[in-house]
């Protein structure tokens, strides 16, 4: 349900913003900088749900659930006190502090999001995932299934993956990750011989269209049906059925099923079904989009797996967190170069909401929250005025030139930054709405 998805998004953003702003708050207090406000959600137009004053700081909850903020005295941003800024700097204002202290205050929110992301990835592996499928386990049971997309790059069903970019991994998931799609050299074993498969950096376009290059064995169970496409239901397929074969050929995985249906648009296929231990066959027409109208549940084959010990959880969790940072940087560079259309890459809260599960699932919630924490850290590091990265950039300029930038310049830069961010938000919201209604 949409309500549950929205609730998950609000909870995730509340956690992320609280941790981020807490970083700024603690760093500011550490250096004796006064913090006037610490709010979760925005108290737009002065309206708030709750607040309390402790010392110099007002702590509160606003009514607009779009994030939160800390108001740091002497900081040139959208919440600054313009009258106070006209006066000489006070010792408790950020603008009176040396640049190294300003830098720590501004970077602290980003650091807190990175720490949170790492901790969440560690906990996800240790508490939820608990184990991972090994690449040896996949190779020992027939290797990969090469999708139609993967075949055009040279992969073949039965290939056994050895390395990617001359690096070997224990986890199978590391070979199927984003690193595969940004230009890679994959070594596979085929018929006893080692063969190199070159994946061009343009393959990321396939990834953005949710087209994988290869898959591993899995079973496909019918969970439900799509009301607007009654083909499967009308043919006699029922909820709980397991799809075992297509036209008499054993089905290896869900990717093979989608490939077969895409190749047989407007044709009729014989679906071999297992129901309550009995094997049945139904003729199902495929529509012109390559669909038959059922909701699948995909269960991976029970390959050899390795338990995530605490040590492995820490090692893999830390690596997974920083890989989000790395691939965000690559993706942004692709957008700047024009390789990736911005409309395919930028999402507003509307688009992000759709990523959460329609039924509350703590595993998927924490996975998305961990991802968003690292994305938030990366985005805030960008050198755009009004973002932490913009403030850090100006601190760097002042340190190099040994000249303080005027408050007037900083104020105008913040306005430009806010306009850019608002324009980006309008574009993202419009883009998501267009996708929904089209």
Cα dist. 63→46, 54, 67, 119, 315 in Å? Answer: 10, 21, 10, 29, 40
Domains recognised in the chain with CATH numbers: 2-126+366-437 (no CATH), 135-215 (2.30.42), 218-300 (2.30.42.10)
pLDDT 10s digits, 242-299: 999 999 999 999 999 999 999 999 999 999 999 999 999 999 999 999 999 999 999 9
Using N-to-C axis directions, what is the helix angle for 310-337 and 99-123, rounded to 10°? 120
Sort 159 into a burial class: Cβ within 10 Å, 0-12 / 13-18 / 19+: buried
In the prediction, which pLDDT does 205 show? 81
In the prediction, which pLDDT does 289 show? 93
* Residues of the chain below pLDDT 70: 1, 78-86, 432-438
In the prediction, which pLDDT does 183 show? 86
- Reduce the secondary structure of 156-183 to three states and give it as a string: CCCCEEEEECCECCCEHHHCCCHHHCCC
Strands (E), 27-113: 35-42, 48-54, 57-62, 64-72
What is the pTM assigned to this prediction? Answer: 0.87
Neighbours of 192 (CB within 10 A): 5
What is the SS3 assignment for 39?
A: strand
In the prediction, which pLDDT does 286 show? 97
Percent of the chain with pLDDT over 90: 68
Sort 213 into a burial class: Cβ within 10 Å, 0-12 / 13-18 / 19+: buried
């Amino acid at each position: 349900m949409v309500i549950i998805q929205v609730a998950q998004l609000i909870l995730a953003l509340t956690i992320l913003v609280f941790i981020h702003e807490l970083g700024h708050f603690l760093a500011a207090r550490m250096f004796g900088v006064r913090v006037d406000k610490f709010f979760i959600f925005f108290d737009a137009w002065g309206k708030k749900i709750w607040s309390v004053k402790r010392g110099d700081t007002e702590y509160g909850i606003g009514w607009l659930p779009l994030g939160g903020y800390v108001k740091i005295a002497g900081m040139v941003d959208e919440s600054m006190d313009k009258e106070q800024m006209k006066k000489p700097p006070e010792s408790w204002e950020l603008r009176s502090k040396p640049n190294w202290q300003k830098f720590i205050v501004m970077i602290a929110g980003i650091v807190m999001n990175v720490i949170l992301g790492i901790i969440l990835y560690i906990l996800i592996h240790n508490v939820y995932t608990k184990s991972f499928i090994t690449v040896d386990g996949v190779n020992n049971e027939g290797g990969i299934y090469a999708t139609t997309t993967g075949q055009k790059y040279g992969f073949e069903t039965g290939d056994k993956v050895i390395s990617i970019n001359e690096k070997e991994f224990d986890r199978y998931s590391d070979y199927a990750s984003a690193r595969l799609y940004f230009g890679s050299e994959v070594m596979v074993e085929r018929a006893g011989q080692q063969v190199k498969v070159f994946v061009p950096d343009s393959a990321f376009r396939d990834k953005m269209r949710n087209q994988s290059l290869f898959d591993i064995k899995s079973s496909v169970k019918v969970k439900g049906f799509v009301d607007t496409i009654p083909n499967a239901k009308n043919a006699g397929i029922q909820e709980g059925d397991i799809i075992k074969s297509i036209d008499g050929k054993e089905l290896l995985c869900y990717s093979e099923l989608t490939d077969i249906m895409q190749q047989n648009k407007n044709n009729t296929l014989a679906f071999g079904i297992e129901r309550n231990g009995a094997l049945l066959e139904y003729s199902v027409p495929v529509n012109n989009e390559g669909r038959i109208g059922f909701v699948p549940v995909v269960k991976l084959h029970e390959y050899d797996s390795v338990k995530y010990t605490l040590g492995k959880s820490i090692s893999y969790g830390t690596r997974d967190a920083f890989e989000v940072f790395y691939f965000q940087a690559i993706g942004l560079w692709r957008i700047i170069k024009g390789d990736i259309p911005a409309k395919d890459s930028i999402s507003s809260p509307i688009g992000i909401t759709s990523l959460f599960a329609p039924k509350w699932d703590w595993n998927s919630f924490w996975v998305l929250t961990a991802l968003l924490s690292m994305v938030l850290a990366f985005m805030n590091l960008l050198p755009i005025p009004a973002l932490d990265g913009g403030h850090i950039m100006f601190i760097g300029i002042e340190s190099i030139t040994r000249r303080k930038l005027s408050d007037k310049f900083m104020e105008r830069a913040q306005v430009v930054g806010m306009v850019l961010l608002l324009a980006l938000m309008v574009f993202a919201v419009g883009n998501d709405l267009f996708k929904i209604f089209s």
